[in-house]
Amino acid sequence: MIAFDKYKTGFSDKYAREVSMEQIVKHADVLSLHVPLTRETNGMVDDEYLFHFRKPIFFLNLARGKVVKTQAVLNAIKQGKILGAGLDVLEVEKFPALAEQAWFDELCATGKVLLSPHVGGWTFESYRKISEVMAQKLGEISLAK
């Protein structure tokens, strides 16, 4: 697996090899996004961004919805640049606003997009860990008094 991080370096290990963005767009088979929503990343994945990929890719947005322009993903699917997409976030997620988007009907009809809820943190293990941390913090507060 290859990976790119604009701000972090030296993270290569046996699971991921650090590469440049130029190498990502040249060699990636799957592009999986895991970035926060900032001024810099808002709308980052647009038609121009996807244009640079040299071969067809599978695209996953597991970050924040507003990082990706949905119409750009649909355009890339039509052009054969994206073979399929998995989205657990969208740039607009609430009804009725979602159904009012120009791209909504196409997104539903394409057959090349899987949608899933953004609930990776909603597991038994995550709730247990949250509860353990909360109990520890409450214990620290009561000991401090």
Residue 140 to residue 14: CA distance in whole angstroms: 38
Catalytic (active site) residue 64: yes
Residue 79 to residue 82: CA distance in whole angstroms: 8
Structural domains for the chain: 2-119 (3.40.50.720)
* β 82-87/113-115 pair status: parallel
Query: How does the average pLDDT of the chain come out, rounded?
Result: 92
Ordered per-residue pLDDT tens for the chain, 145 residues = 999 998 999 999 999 999 999 999 999 999 999 999 999 999 999 999 999 999 999 999 999 999 999 999 999 999 999 999 999 999 998 889 999 999 999 999 999 999 987 776 677 787 788 889 889 888 877 666 6
Nearest to 83 by CA among 62, 106, 63, 55: 55
Catalytic residue selected from 118, 128, 132, 140 = 118
* Token couple for 98: 């979602």
Residue 114's SS3 state is: strand
CA angle 83/86/92 to nearest 5° reads 120
Q: 34 and 6 in contact (C-beta within 8 Å)?
A: no
pLDDT tens-digit map of 28-45: 999 999 999 999 999 999
User: CA-based Rg of the chain, rounded to a whole angstrom?
Assistant: 19
Catalytic (active site) residue 27: no
Q: 57 and 26 in contact (C-beta within 8 Å)?
A: no
Nearest to 89 by CA among 131, 130, 32: 32
Catalytic residue selected from 64, 100, 128, 140 = 64
Catalytic (active site) residue 34: no
* Residue 127 confidence (pLDDT): 79
Catalytic residue selected from 22, 40, 93, 132 = 93
